[in-house]
Amino acid sequence: MDVIFNEGGVTAPEGFLAAGVHCGIKRYKKDVAVVYSRVPAVAAGVFTTNRVKAAPLKITMENLRDKRAQVIVANSGNANACTGERGMKDAKEMAELTAKELGCRTEDVVVASTGVIGVRMPMEKVRDGIIQCCRNVSKEGGVDAACAIMTTDTFKKEMAVKIDVSGKKVTIGGMAKGSGMIHPNMATMLCFITTDASIEADALEKALRRATVRSFNMISVDGDTSTNDMAVVLANGLAGNRPIQWGTEDFDAFYRGLETVCVELAKMMARDGEGATKFMEVEVKNAPDELSAVKAARSITRSNLVKAAIFGEDANWGRIICAVGYSGIDFNPELVDIYICSKAGELILAQNGMGLDFSEDKAREILKEKDIKVIVDLKQGYGHATAWGCDLSYDYVKINGSYRT
């Protein structure tokens, strides 16, 4: 059962419309988005592990308790976090106004915000943006919606796939934002996924949670976890397939499609890390178990010393094995092999825990490429994991030194 890449994003599945506009939260760029399903949908969400949670996230968590939704309204430029009772009132009003404009229940609205923390929402502008979006949703509006949720992102992040479920073509589409404050256990990210699949609520939730673990929780840019992170999926059933149940072949087919969308969006976020000049993929193989592989891969991608070495095109493998060493896993350092790869070739830097007399010129040639892969072979089992990240450049400090102003 192949996963076929498809054009578009959140409006690729049947029955979904979207819009994105500029209402003035940000000075120039689009800043309010709406994604609308023509019919109520089964829904699931995963949320930040940060103890500090923004008002819209709290509203969304409450609204998704019944595992259904029909509309997503999101803004960029203001996180509506740490804004007290006023912030909760504003988030509720966003849901109420969206529901009124589109003729659905307030409880069926997902609310999301991203941007500066601790600043009150300019509700007069937000109201105008929501009304504009709701009155102009269209099949072509997915691109505008994907642009409207961006903050420091340098490009929009959207994709879609088609899969076969019991002879019916099912489409899964998604859009995301994320560039800084990216770290496992969500990131400073918003991700909205749509599908025309018919799927039972518990199966959808299990699929999203598993896909999140293998995608969004495997990326790291800077070690920060935000207050507003969420990934939400809406399934409206318009593909006409028989309802997908947990533990069936149909579920496996759907899951492969969902994981593909999540992984590709996650990789886009890592590639677009604030100030990044290089995309880094870390593969840990032959670990004692899968959890050990996950911990080791994550530890490498979040190491500032490894990230700085990748930026400097320095084959400093000692920083890589060091990151594995403090990852908390049980392994034998004297068995570890370390490789670097890119379009320019592959080179082994260390074998059985010791450095080799490798060509520094060849290493620099490999590391000059935009996409770099690090392979760590622990040679102690069958555990395997892949994580994604980026380098740490001077521009990261410049961007975040003046983010609020």
The residues assigned a catalytic role are 188
Burial 73-101 (b: 16+ CB within 10 A, else e): bbbbbbbbbebeeebbebbbbbbebbbeb
CA distances from 22 to 3, 130, 187 (A): 35, 10, 25
User: Do residues 218 and 294 touch, judged by C-beta distance below 8 A?
Assistant: yes
> What number of other Cβ atoms are within 10 A of residue 196's Cβ?
25
CA distances from 74 to 274, 289, 372, 404 (A): 22, 39, 34, 20
Could you please report the per-residue DSSP string of 257-279?
A: HHHHHHHHHHHHHHHT-TT---E
Look up residue 297 and give its two tokens: 């891969």
The rounded distance, in Å, linking the Cα atoms of 334 and 337 is 9
The rounded distance, in Å, linking the Cα atoms of 210 and 220 is 18
**Residues in the chain, total:** 405
Look up residue 385 and give its two tokens: 């994991």
User: Kind and range of the H or E element at 21?
Assistant: strand 16-21
Look up residue 5 and give its two tokens: 């890449």
Could you please report the per-residue DSSP string of 175-226?
A: EEE-SSSB-SSSBS-EEEEEE---B-HHHHHHHHHHHHHTTGGGEESSS---
> What number of other Cβ atoms are within 10 A of residue 276's Cβ?
25
Could you please report the per-residue DSSP string of 72-118?
A: EEEEEEE---S-HHHHHHHHHHHHHHHHHHHTS-GGGEEEEEEEETT
